[in-house]
């Protein structure tokens, strides 16, 4: 079957200061064909990936240490959940404006300024002590983080061929994971060193969190090297984005609602897994960082394998299979009080559940026309972030009152629902990664 795509939009003006390595129709097969897209990606995409790496390192430092820091300051799980929730609220507020801004201003300056703003808000979140100011800083982080995330999808679609696209989306996710690998493996060890040097657990946390803010600022500096110019149709305004969303509402709903469901499940438990290991097993930051690093390693391997599986099975089948395979490990996490079982389940769940994330993002971009990619990317982010915002608030309160078992089980049920929705919505409309736009692989049930 042929899958329609909107080709009606005019191409935006982009100043491209780098030569193009075009091998779209000449990528060899076998192992060389698997490796080639990673080696020959466009220099602009490579620079964006480096910026993503440093931005991701800053985020990972805060993901690992912020909850523990807040607990040392005496804040409850409910307040911690509120901080994460308000960060998501900031992203929600900025998502649609960001989709409009990238049609009017240079992608380079948008990501540079927003990433620098995120660094400043991370710094404030670390050094201020008034709860209201901490919440405001969290909102600022969320608003700033929205722009690189909205820019990323259209940027990579502009600077990649269909052959390499799934690989580059996976590399974007892998850049975040690789950054997390450094942050998680190093964060726990550096915390122990900082405690010895500074003589205070709180000061040690604060110093490392300031380092995370500095890493985010370095990301802004790296983003200065990407090409200048807008990357989507200049005619886009908030009104045109809304009209396009209305015109494609059924497709956009099917593409984005699974993101909403996954966001609810993730928000209930993922921000609190470091506290899960601390509370249930009495683990110290060094051990928590080490196990988070193992998870990042498994996720990194998974997302690099993902494009190969998506070529073999199809994008949707790959997402459905890997999400479903992660569910038994959620059950183990919910009930296990054996550290080795819990850590093994933690590692396998992270690898399997996240393996399909970049493939799902790539599928989203492939299914809509060029003029609709900013709004589709923004709506997917809005769906995920809005559900995460609500769920983190609820999750913190639930964990404070009833523990971790029930939120883990509910999250697993929601992940199962998301996998079923992907299968139901797109069982006849799968695409094979690397095959170009609109290349079907047949019915999910019988191809």
C-alpha 95/C-alpha 383 separation (Å) is 10
pLDDT at 239: 64
pLDDT at 117: 94
CB burial string 131-165: b at 16+ within 10 A, e below: eeebbbbbbbbbbbbbbbbbbbbbbbbbbbbbbbb
Question: What is the number of helices (H) and of strands (E) in the chain?
Answer: 16, 0
> pTM of the full predicted structure?
0.67
pLDDT at 340: 92
Digit-coded pLDDT (tens) for 244-293: 667 777 888 888 899 899 999 998 988 889 889 988 998 888 788 888 88
Q: Residues 235, 74: contact at Cβ < 8 Å? A: no
C-alpha 164/C-alpha 433 separation (Å) is 9
Tell me the HSE value of 216 on the side-chain side, using a 13 A CA sphere: 27
Q: Residues 297, 351: contact at Cβ < 8 Å? A: no
Q: Which residues pair with 14 in a beta bridge?
A: 229
pLDDT at 392: 84
Closest CA to 341 of 332, 350, 328: 332
C-alpha 28/C-alpha 435 separation (Å) is 13
Burial class (CB in 10 A: 0-12, 13-18, 19+), 340: exposed
pLDDT at 411: 94
Q: Phi-psi region for residue 434, left (φ > 0), alpha (ψ -120 to 50) or beta?
A: left
Output the CA angle 344-350-356, nearest 5 degrees. Answer: 140
Q: CA dihedral in degrees (204, 205, 207, 209; nearest 10)? A: 160
pLDDT at 430: 63
pLDDT in tens, the chain (447 residues): 333 333 333 333 333 333 333 333 334 444 454 455 556 777 888 888 899 899 989 988 898 888 888 888 888 878 888 888 888 888 888 877 877 787 777 888 889 999 999 999 999 999 988 889 999 999 999 899 888 887 887 788 777 777 777 677 777 877 887 888 888 778 778 888 888 888 888 899 999 999 999 999 999 999 998 877 655 555 555 566 667 667 777 888 888 899 899 999 998 988 889 889 988 998 888 788 888 888 888 888 888 888 888 888 888 889 999 999 999 999 999 999 999 999 999 999 998 988 888 888 888 878 877 667 777 777 887 888 788 878 888 888 888 889 999 999 999 999 999 999 988 988 777 665 554 443 333 333 233
DSSP 424-445: HHHTT--B-TTS-TT-B---TT
Q: Residues 124, 137: contact at Cβ < 8 Å? A: yes
pLDDT at 26: 36
Closest CA to 134 of 77, 65, 87, 92: 87
pLDDT at 348: 93
Q: Which CATH architecture has domain 42-426?
A: Up-down Bundle (1.20)
pLDDT at 309: 87
Digit-coded pLDDT (tens) for 357-370: 888 888 887 887 76
Where exactly are the structural domains of the chain?
42-426
pLDDT at 220: 93
């Amino acid at each position: 079957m042929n899958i329609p795509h909107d080709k009606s939009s005019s191409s935006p003006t982009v100043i491209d200061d780098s030569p193009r390595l075009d091998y779209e129709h000449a990528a060899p097969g076998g192992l060389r064909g698997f490796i080639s897209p990673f080696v020959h990606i466009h220099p602009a995409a490579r620079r964006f990936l480096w910026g993503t790496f440093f931005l991701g390192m800053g985020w990972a430092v805060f993901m690992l240490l912020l909850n523990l820091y807040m607990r040392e300051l005496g804040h409850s799980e409910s307040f911690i959940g509120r901080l994460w929730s308000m960060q998501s609220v900031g992203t929600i507020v900025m998502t649609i404006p960001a989709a409009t801004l990238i049609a009017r201003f240079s992608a380079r300056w948008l990501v540079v300024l927003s990433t620098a703003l995120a660094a400043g808000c991370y710094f404030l979140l670390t050094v201020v002590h008034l709860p209201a100011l901490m919440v405001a800083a969290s909102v600022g982080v969320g608003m700033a983080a929205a722009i690189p995330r909205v820019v990323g999808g259209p940027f990579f679609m502009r600077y990649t061929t269909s052959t390499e696209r799934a690989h580059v989306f996976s590399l974007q996710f892998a850049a975040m994971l690789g950054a997390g690998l450094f942050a998680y493996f190093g964060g726990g060890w550096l915390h122990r060193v900082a405690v010895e040097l500074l003589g205070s657990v709180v000061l040690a946390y604060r110093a490392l969190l300031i380092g995370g803010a500095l890493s985010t600022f370095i990301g802004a500096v790296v983003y200065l090297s990407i090409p200048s110019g807008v990357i989507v149709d200049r005619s886009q305004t908030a009104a045109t984005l809304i009209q396009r969303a209305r015109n494609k509402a059924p497709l956009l709903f099917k593409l984005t609602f699974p993101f909403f469901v996954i966001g609810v499940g993730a928000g209930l438990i993922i921000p609190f897994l470091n506290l899960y290991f601390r509370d249930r097993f009495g683990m110290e930051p060094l051990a928590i960082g080490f196990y988070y690093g193992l998870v990042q390693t498994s996720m990194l391997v998974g997302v690099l394998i993902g494009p190969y599986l998506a070529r073999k099975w199809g994008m949707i089948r790959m997402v459905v299979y890997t999400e479903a395979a992660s569910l038994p490990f959620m059950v183990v996490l919910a009930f296990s009080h054996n550290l080795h079982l819990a850590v093994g389940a933690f590692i396998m769940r992270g690898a399997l559940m996240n393996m399909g994330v970049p493939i799902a993002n790539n599928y989203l971009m492939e299914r809509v026309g060029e003029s609709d990619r900013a709004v589709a990317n923004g709506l997917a982010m809005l769906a995920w972030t809005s559900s995460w915002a609500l769920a983190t608030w609820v999750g913190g309160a639930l964990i404070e009152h009833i523990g971790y078992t029930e939120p883990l089980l509910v999250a697993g049920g929601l992940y199962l629902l998301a996998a079923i929705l992907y299968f139901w919505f797109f069982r006849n409309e799968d695409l094979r990664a690397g095959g170009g736009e609109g290349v079907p692989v047949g019915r999910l049930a019988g191809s």
